[in-house]
Amino acid sequence: MAQKGEWALLHSVVLEAPQRAPQVPEDTHKVPLEMWVKGTLTAPARLGAKATVVTRTGRKVTGTLLEVNPRFSHDFGDFVPELLDIDDMLRAIVFGGDGK
Protein backbone atom coordinates (compact mmCIF):
# COMPACT_ATOMS: atom_id res chain seq x y z
CA MET A 1 0.00 0.00 0.00
CA ALA A 2 1.46 3.33 -1.05
CA GLN A 3 1.02 6.12 1.46
CA LYS A 4 -0.13 9.70 1.02
CA GLY A 5 2.84 11.94 0.22
CA GLU A 6 4.94 9.26 -1.48
CA TRP A 7 6.46 9.91 -4.91
CA ALA A 8 4.63 7.81 -7.49
CA LEU A 9 4.28 7.03 -11.19
CA LEU A 10 0.80 6.96 -12.74
CA HIS A 11 -0.40 5.86 -16.18
CA SER A 12 -3.54 6.89 -18.03
CA VAL A 13 -5.00 6.83 -21.51
CA VAL A 14 -5.61 10.39 -22.68
CA LEU A 15 -7.32 9.51 -25.96
CA GLU A 16 -8.48 6.15 -27.26
CA ALA A 17 -7.40 5.29 -30.82
CA PRO A 18 -10.70 6.35 -32.47
CA GLN A 19 -10.48 9.74 -30.74
CA ARG A 20 -7.06 10.57 -32.23
CA ALA A 21 -6.88 13.47 -34.69
CA PRO A 22 -7.41 12.39 -38.30
CA GLN A 23 -4.20 14.09 -39.48
CA VAL A 24 -1.84 11.97 -37.35
CA PRO A 25 0.09 9.24 -39.21
CA GLU A 26 -1.86 6.03 -39.79
CA ASP A 27 0.25 3.92 -37.43
CA THR A 28 -0.16 6.54 -34.70
CA HIS A 29 -3.91 6.73 -35.30
CA LYS A 30 -4.22 3.00 -34.49
CA VAL A 31 -3.00 3.28 -30.88
CA PRO A 32 -4.22 5.25 -27.86
CA LEU A 33 -2.45 8.39 -26.65
CA GLU A 34 -0.99 7.44 -23.28
CA MET A 35 0.46 9.48 -20.43
CA TRP A 36 2.88 8.61 -17.66
CA VAL A 37 3.25 11.20 -14.92
CA LYS A 38 5.05 11.41 -11.60
CA GLY A 39 3.94 13.25 -8.50
CA THR A 40 3.10 13.08 -4.81
CA LEU A 41 0.17 10.86 -3.86
CA THR A 42 -2.80 12.73 -2.41
CA ALA A 43 -4.15 9.64 -0.60
CA PRO A 44 -3.10 6.05 0.14
CA ALA A 45 -3.45 3.72 -2.87
CA ARG A 46 -2.67 0.19 -3.98
CA LEU A 47 -0.55 -0.69 -7.01
CA GLY A 48 -2.82 -1.13 -10.02
CA ALA A 49 -5.59 1.01 -8.52
CA LYS A 50 -6.69 4.52 -9.42
CA ALA A 51 -4.74 7.21 -7.64
CA THR A 52 -4.22 10.96 -7.77
CA VAL A 53 -0.93 12.81 -7.59
CA VAL A 54 0.07 16.43 -7.45
CA THR A 55 2.89 17.06 -9.93
CA ARG A 56 5.86 19.35 -9.29
CA THR A 57 4.03 22.02 -11.30
CA GLY A 58 0.95 21.74 -9.05
CA ARG A 59 -1.36 19.84 -11.44
CA LYS A 60 -3.64 17.16 -10.00
CA VAL A 61 -3.58 14.09 -12.22
CA THR A 62 -5.47 10.82 -11.82
CA GLY A 63 -4.40 7.49 -13.28
CA THR A 64 -3.42 3.93 -12.46
CA LEU A 65 -0.68 3.63 -9.85
CA LEU A 66 2.26 1.81 -11.45
CA GLU A 67 5.16 2.38 -9.11
CA VAL A 68 6.13 4.02 -5.83
CA ASN A 69 9.46 5.87 -5.72
CA PRO A 70 10.15 5.06 -9.40
CA ARG A 71 13.79 4.80 -10.34
CA PHE A 72 15.45 6.34 -13.35
CA SER A 73 16.10 3.49 -15.78
CA HIS A 74 17.41 5.38 -18.78
CA ASP A 75 21.03 5.76 -19.75
CA PHE A 76 23.06 7.05 -22.67
CA GLY A 77 23.45 3.68 -24.37
CA ASP A 78 26.59 1.82 -25.30
CA PHE A 79 29.95 3.53 -25.58
CA VAL A 80 30.61 4.96 -29.06
CA PRO A 81 34.36 5.24 -29.71
CA GLU A 82 33.84 7.62 -32.65
CA LEU A 83 32.58 10.23 -30.21
CA LEU A 84 36.10 10.55 -28.77
CA ASP A 85 37.41 11.51 -32.23
CA ILE A 86 34.54 13.96 -32.70
CA ASP A 87 35.29 15.48 -29.28
CA ASP A 88 38.95 15.99 -30.27
CA MET A 89 37.94 17.57 -33.59
CA LEU A 90 35.47 19.95 -31.95
CA ARG A 91 37.98 21.00 -29.30
CA ALA A 92 40.53 21.72 -32.05
CA ILE A 93 38.00 23.85 -33.92
CA VAL A 94 36.84 25.75 -30.86
CA PHE A 95 40.10 26.10 -28.94
CA GLY A 96 42.70 25.64 -31.71
CA GLY A 97 45.68 23.32 -31.62
CA ASP A 98 45.33 19.58 -31.38
CA GLY A 99 42.23 19.82 -29.13
CA LYS A 100 43.89 18.32 -26.05
Q: According to the model, what pLDDT value does residue 72 have?
A: 87
Mean of all residue pLDDT scores within the chain: 94
If one counts every other C-beta atom within 10 angstroms of the C-beta of residue 39, the result is: 21
Mean pLDDT of 53-79: 95
Q: According to the model, what pLDDT value does residue 98 have?
A: 61
Instruction: State the greatest distance between any 2 C-alpha atoms of the chain, in Å, as a whole number.
Output: 61
8 CB contacts (<8 Å, ≥6 apart)? 2, 38, 39, 40, 41, 45, 51, 53, 65, 66, 67, 68, 69, 70
User: Looking at the predicted structure, is the pLDDT value of residue 89 above 90?
Assistant: yes
Global pTM reads 0.74
Q: According to the model, what pLDDT value does residue 100 have?
A: 54
| Helix/strand/coil for 61 | strand
In the chain, count H helices and then E strands.
2, 4
User: Looking at the predicted structure, is the pLDDT value of residue 9 above 60?
Assistant: yes
User: Looking at the predicted structure, is the pLDDT value of residue 83 above 80?
Assistant: yes
Q: Which residues, in sequence order, are bridge partners of residue 60?
A: 54
Q: According to the model, what pLDDT value does residue 73 have?
A: 86
Q: According to the model, what pLDDT value does residue 99 have?
A: 47
Domains of the chain, CATH where assigned? 1-70 (2.30.30)
